[in-house]
Structure 1
């Protein structure tokens, strides 16, 4: 492994990579540029129902391939992660590329069709929970089982996961994505905020268990990142006074997908492995205002 390609020989699965404007695409291309083999997951039907629409998946695939280093491999898998039985199939498909899986980035998310507390129904809450929270936890569980000693003994509350540590280095990395609900109100996005708050809240618990297997989990809050939803022609919200507000911020811009991608890329290397179990905000100071 060279300093130039710190992820050479590693295999990464990045979920929610269906649009070139998205964070998932930026993460996938960043990991590829660092030497990783990359498997992307996508579910284009979700985007087709939203104002920004679906991207050309062939162009998405080609864009990731362009960043692969010599000898690195690529694959993609389509799946609706609201269907629990699809999750083991996604992990199996990712593992099949090289016979190993080292990095899991749970970037997928359901967005749109949200509302205020007055608009909440069991169906709406379940829809966000199933994709944003349940699927992330189940993907992480499948990833962890690849390295966990087999046992038929049920675990009780307080029982530690049995691993084979101490480890000379991190045996793998997991990344979850949360949102700005940890810093303030997300008015009109109750179902989304609730589903993401659950991930932020359980990060330390799951990170402690994964660490027994040598796996490092961190959760990223990328802050406001324009993936198309802040463009007037493809927005799903009011943009009144947005430009004026952004111009008053220290950097005069919102986040770009490359911003959280750079952070995840570094954390996925051995240099970033000492950061464990954190909910990290990468928002250019928006949460300080």
Structure 2
């Protein structure tokens, strides 16, 4: 590869603006760092505004912004995205990472409140962002895309039924929206991580005890997922839409769907 081509490959997001929702820690932070390292402008959105501001201060490059967004609040989402438009900011990509599980008993003991909370956060949260951002992405002059973080729990028998069901619901959402928005030039995909070293594991002594479940004999790092997200957002994936990419160290080839 000649030097100019090599430099272009490292600067895939030059001149683009990406909104990363849930970007202050973990996979979201790693994604923001990866996109900024490839010369993209990143808007780090999070419920924790101070965390988003810290993340932005450490990103390479200039022009990054921190936003406070609560994906559980449709009005807050509308207000935040409208404010971007009013500032003349054109979005080229959405990366939605915000989500998570909660402690609960077995299926028979799990109340409706837990189910509602998991559906609100892991399914309706992305719905609210996509509903508001997709029309804005159609105005991008680049190769606009949205990447949603799902989970292998949405396809495998790994328990945690409320969380897993909400994540599984993202699959038809992604496919239907990819079909609807493809003619308008917007690509929509998801990644489905396996076990990743994030703060969710801190109270459990870390995730490394699960490494033996994976053919690659390690758990994932946030940077592993960020690399896949960056690929799907980039022009390198310009003919890929409507797919859920497992980024799981081979876990899904060992377990039955």
TM-score band by shorter chain is 0.7 to 0.9
Distance 1:228 1:135, change over 3 A: closer
1:147-186 Cα deviation digits (max 9, x unpaired): 569xxxxxxxxxxxxxxxxx9x864110111112244222
> Cα distance, 1:211 vs. partner?
0.8
Q: CA contact under 8 A between 1:13 and 1:104: conserved in structure 2?
A: yes
Q: d(CA) in 2 for partners of 1:185 and 1:137?
A: 24
TM-score (norm 2): 0.85
TM-score (norm 1): 0.76
Aligned residue in 1 for 2:58: 66
Aligned residue in 1 for 2:204: 235
Q: d(CA) in 2 for partners of 1:236 and 1:128?
A: 24
Matched, 1:197 2:168: yes
Aligned residue in 2 for 1:157: none
Q: d(CA) in 2 for partners of 1:287 and 1:147?
A: 32
Q: Paired residues, what number?
A: 248
Gaps of 5+ in 2: 1-6
Aligned residue in 1 for 2:185: 214
Aligned residue in 1 for 2:149: 177
Aligned residue in 2 for 1:253: 218
Rg (Cα) greater in structure:
1
1:284 equivalent among 249, 252, 255: 249
Aligned residue in 1 for 2:101: 111
Gaps of 5+ in 1: 46-55, 150-166
Moved more, 8-17 or 140-149: 140-149
Measured on the aligned residues, the alpha-carbon RMSD in Å equals: 2.7
Distance 1:277 1:118, change over 3 A: same
Distance 1:82 1:209, change over 3 A: same
Q: d(CA) in 2 for partners of 1:170 and 1:209?
A: 18
Distance 1:248 1:201, change over 3 A: closer
More helix by share: 2
